[in-house]
Structure 1
Amino acid sequence: MDPSEETLLITHFVCHIVKNYLAHILNTKVPLILGIWGGKGQGKSFQTELIFQTMGIEPVIMSAGELESERAGEPGKLIRERYRTASQVVQNQGKMSCLMINDIDAGLGRFGNTQMTVNNQIVVGTLMNLSDNPTRVSVGQDWRDSDITNRIPIIVTGNDFSTIYAPLIRDGRMDKFYWQPNLEDILNIVHRMYEKDGISRDEVERVVKTFPNQALDFYGALRSRTYDRSILKWIDDIGGVENFGSKLLKRRKDQSLPVFIPPEQTVDALLEAGYSLIKEQQLIMENKLSKEYMKNIDD
């Protein structure tokens, strides 16, 4: 039996982390960056968080929104600072750490006729330099003895790495893994989402097969939607919508709020929430209100 995509991802991830921490004793070149890419909403960040917890890794996390700034050079400096912060976690706390950049292609990718900004170029150059010199990282203009740091593995996620500057993703700098969960992986992941709610694997399978071809985010959104009725009841208990703000924010310290009782998760409730979400998806696809505002938009 072939290993599942989930098992392959975990194996790839663990090997990347361990190889980077042992790079000084291995007689081989080890890529500093691991790029995990695949379709939107497929649980890439969720899986990495689980692996961090399992391995006891304390990640330093960045988002694509931090890769651009009104000040030239600021994002590149921020990456170096975060990298050094991760190194200090290793040195001061005795924990493994890594630099995690989510949705990197949203910040660095080139789409259509868009052009690279100065900060895009600096960020790419910074990551390439870190890959080539992972233990010598300066945040200023001058090299100092204190610029020597621990080698810190970098994990990046994205949807389409073909939009990123090619020399950054070459094999010597970035190890890549295409994440495309199959049905078995999806069932395992969704089952873990609902494990504390007492939803069995067979019940999870029923939900997943009722709503096929959905991103993993969809199954997480089902749980959130089932909370709506309980939240509305809790708002009534607190005095209604009109008094919600004052009761929640202006109450005295000795005043307590009504106890919120989470709903009991059932398959029927999840299916009802699923049909509601599907209806909203269909309305967006059918109406396409943007066409009314941008008459010249191409189909």
Structure 2
Amino acid sequence: MATTSVAASSPHPHLSRPRRRNSSATSRTSIRGCLLPIRCSSASSSQPPATGGEEGESGRRRLSKQSSWEDRDVEGDDYLYRLGKEADNLNITVGARSGIVDELFVGNFLGKDSDIVFDYRQKATRTFEYLQGDYYIAPAFLDKVACHIVKNYIAHLLNNIKVPLILGIWGGKGQGKTFQTELIFRAMGVEPVIMSAGELESEKAGEPGRLIRDRYRTASQVIQNQGKMSCLMINDLDAGVGRFGNTQMTVNNQIAVGTLMNLADNPTRVSIGQKWRESDVTHRVPIIVTGNDFSTLYAPLIRDGRMEKFYWQPNREDIISIVHGMYIKDGLSVEEVSRIVDAFPNQALDFYGALRSRTYDQAILEWVEEIGGHEQLNEKLLKRKKGEELPTFIPPKPTLEALIESGYSLVKEQELIMSSKLSKEYMKNLE
């Protein structure tokens, strides 16, 4: 088959495309072995391509001086221009990956596979591979989280049932709400996209709302493209958008709350700024939020149709089982853990984790003396000579007596903070 000649007027003859022959309304273009049907115009290919900023004989204005593209989509718009305007992923999300971008443009400057943001996109979800070992998961907690995730994944099968998109887990400080949720994610094979309250404020108006929608769509892409269960989790929601005392509600607080409400009402239609397309349907993604006091949140956000609430207050059996999981590697029995829990009642779960950390203090001080004392810390920790190794740190084995002794010192510090109230002493002359 004879090919047509390359246009002599092209500034890059080796990049110019062969002129197309006359065709019907639809032609087939080959891209690296893939045949894609494209709606084409009926303009004759015998006409010379119009240059950028000029009008061809067909009356169309060229979008590029170097482009010979004359195809229109089914709506009559320029095909490439519409794709670029609607797409939410830019060139940097592809990079110069060999086999995807033409070899002429790959080069060797950044390497054959210079995907600029590949590592960031890979780290968008959490896998919790660091959670090694057997940890206790409270049955009530597991049932609530698992039921919420499953209900949202099969919401289209549940007729005449309003499934809340958001699960709000709230309760006292340090009760292990986030950690229990992460353990459930690991057990169920869920790879969530996680946000914190610190990301709900920005110097740019509307940025937190856009970030929430972007993370929501990222979790949806994990479901659709990787075939893995995912969800969006926001930690300490009340700290980010709650009202405390006379604190002021900012524009970003309002937009973040409004975005969550809109997601709960329209979980499959989410825009991050691109033009709407009828085919752009987002997979329904369950949302899980944690907090300490949901009464500080905007009331319409936490209504029953949008958010299902779960108050987490572990009982004595739950606390003993969870704390025993913390100390199981230290060889403490369930009876010894029970004695520790009974010695310090009404304490949060993070208190018992602090006991274990406090027992390391003396061993660390002895290790500092072993490497040369406090004066040598900078030299030994940061400026060691090549090949110089630090002495091995041998962690101590916590005993029941040492843990109880550390517990009393922590309780004493708690009582001192509550009884001193030094801020009142500082401010008493200003009253």
TM bin, normalised by shorter chain, reads: over 0.9
TM-superposition CA deviations, 1:258-298 (whole Å, max 9, x none): 21111102111111111111111121122211112121799
CA contact under 8 A between 1:19 and 1:30: conserved in structure 2?
A: yes
Which residue, 283, 286, 290 being the options, matches 2:423? 290
TM-superposition CA deviations, 1:104-135 (whole Å, max 9, x none): 11111112232311011100110011111112
Give unmatched runs, 5+ long, in structure 2.
1-136
Task: Provide the rounded CA distance (Å) in 1 between the counterparts of 2:378 and 2:167.
Answer: 45
Task: Provide the rounded CA distance (Å) in 1 between the counterparts of 2:155 and 2:430.
Answer: 52
TM (normalized to structure 2)?
0.65
Matches within 5 A, 1:19-168: 19-27=151-159, 28-140=161-273, 142-144=275-277, 147-168=280-301
Which amino acid is 2:425 matched to? E
Relative to structure 1, the CA distance from residue 252 to residue 91 in structure 2 (aligned partners, 3 Å threshold; closer, same or farther) is: farther
Matches within 5 A, 1:4-19: 6-19=138-151
Matched residue, 1:172: 305
Relative to structure 1, the CA distance from residue 97 to residue 292 in structure 2 (aligned partners, 3 Å threshold; closer, same or farther) is: same
Task: Provide the rounded CA distance (Å) in 2 between the counterparts of 1:204 and 1:58.
Answer: 32
- Three-state SS of the structure 1 residue aligned to 2:193 is strand
CA contact under 8 A between 1:197 and 1:264: conserved in structure 2?
A: yes
Kindly state the Cα deviation for residue 91 of structure 1 after the two structures are TM-superposed.
3.1
Task: Provide the rounded CA distance (Å) in 2 between the counterparts of 1:245 and 1:144.
Answer: 58
Matched residue, 1:240: 373
Task: Provide the rounded CA distance (Å) in 2 between the counterparts of 1:121 and 1:147.
Answer: 26
Task: Provide the rounded CA distance (Å) in 1 between the counterparts of 2:307 and 2:246.
Answer: 26
Task: Provide the rounded CA distance (Å) in 2 between the counterparts of 1:162 and 1:119.
Answer: 19
Task: Provide the rounded CA distance (Å) in 1 between the counterparts of 2:417 and 2:146.
Answer: 40
TM-superposition CA deviations, 1:11-69 (whole Å, max 9, x none): 11110011111122222221110000111111111211111111111121111111111
Relative to structure 1, the CA distance from residue 132 to residue 279 in structure 2 (aligned partners, 3 Å threshold; closer, same or farther) is: same
CA contact under 8 A between 1:111 and 1:163: conserved in structure 2?
A: yes
Comparing 74-83 with 87-96, greater Cα deviation is found at 87-96
Relative to structure 1, the CA distance from residue 146 to residue 76 in structure 2 (aligned partners, 3 Å threshold; closer, same or farther) is: farther
Comparing 13-22 with 280-289, greater Cα deviation is found at 280-289
- Three-state SS of the structure 2 residue aligned to 1:71 is coil
CA contact under 8 A between 1:37 and 1:159: conserved in structure 2?
A: yes
The alignment yields a C-alpha RMSD, in angstroms, of 1.9
Matches within 5 A, 1:205-244: 205-244=338-377
Percentage of matched positions with identical amino acids: 75
> Which runs of at least 4 in structure 1 moved beyond 3 Å after TM superposition?
144-147
- Three-state SS of the structure 1 residue aligned to 2:428 is coil
- Three-state SS of the structure 2 residue aligned to 1:97 is coil
- Three-state SS of the structure 2 residue aligned to 1:236 is helix
Relative to structure 1, the CA distance from residue 229 to residue 145 in structure 2 (aligned partners, 3 Å threshold; closer, same or farther) is: farther
- Three-state SS of the structure 2 residue aligned to 1:294 is helix
- Three-state SS of the structure 1 residue aligned to 2:288 is strand
TM (normalized to structure 1)?
0.93
Greater helix fraction, Structure 1 or Structure 2: 1
Task: Provide the rounded CA distance (Å) in 2 between the counterparts of 1:90 and 1:176.
Answer: 25
Which amino acid is 1:200 matched to? S
Relative to structure 1, the CA distance from residue 253 to residue 87 in structure 2 (aligned partners, 3 Å threshold; closer, same or farther) is: farther
Task: Provide the rounded CA distance (Å) in 2 between the counterparts of 1:147 and 1:230.
Answer: 58
- Three-state SS of the structure 2 residue aligned to 1:24 is helix
Which amino acid is 1:97 matched to? S
Relative to structure 1, the CA distance from residue 147 to residue 193 in structure 2 (aligned partners, 3 Å threshold; closer, same or farther) is: farther
Task: Provide the rounded CA distance (Å) in 2 between the counterparts of 1:219 and 1:187.
Answer: 10
Kindly state the Cα deviation for residue 253 of structure 1 after the two structures are TM-superposed.
4.7
Give unmatched runs, 5+ long, in structure 1.
none
TM-superposition CA deviations, 1:214-259 (whole Å, max 9, x none): 1111111111111111111222222222211222222245332221
Matched residue, 1:181: 314
Kindly state the Cα deviation for residue 71 of structure 1 after the two structures are TM-superposed.
1.1
Task: Provide the rounded CA distance (Å) in 2 between the counterparts of 1:140 and 1:146.
Answer: 16
Matches within 5 A, 1:229-268: 229-268=362-401
Comparing 222-231 with 247-256, greater Cα deviation is found at 247-256
- Three-state SS of the structure 2 residue aligned to 1:176 is strand
Task: Provide the rounded CA distance (Å) in 1 between the counterparts of 2:404 and 2:166.
Answer: 40
Kindly state the Cα deviation for residue 76 of structure 1 after the two structures are TM-superposed.
0.5
Radius of gyration: which is bigger? 2
Matched residue, 1:273: 406
